[in-house]
């Protein structure tokens, strides 16, 4: 993910205050904890979780 040129991963994983990604809005809307972003991004999605995501699209 980090190496893909079109990924926003590096903007969310970095502590810089970048204007491309509105990290504060993410936190406000979802309550997400950015301190766990790198760890969460590397987790493997279980088949049942993926199915649930796909069924709700």
Q: Which of 30, 31, 29, 12 minimizes the C-alpha distance to 21?
A: 12
User: What is the Cα–Cα distance from 13 to 19, expressed in whole angstroms?
Assistant: 14
pLDDT at 29 (0 to 100) = 94
Inter-CA distances, 8 with 1, 18, 41, 47, Å:
9, 11, 12, 25
pLDDT at 18 (0 to 100) = 67
Residue by residue, pLDDT tens for the chain (57 residues) are 677 888 888 888 877 676 778 888 988 999 999 899 888 888 888 898 889 888 887
């Amino acid at each position: 993910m980090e190496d893909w040129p079109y990924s926003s991963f590096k903007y969310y994983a970095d502590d810089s205050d970048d204007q491309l990604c509105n990290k504060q809005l993410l936190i406000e809307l979802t309550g997400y904890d950015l301190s766990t972003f790198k760890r969460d991004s590397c987790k493997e999605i279980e088949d049942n979780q993926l199915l649930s995501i796909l069924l709700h699209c």
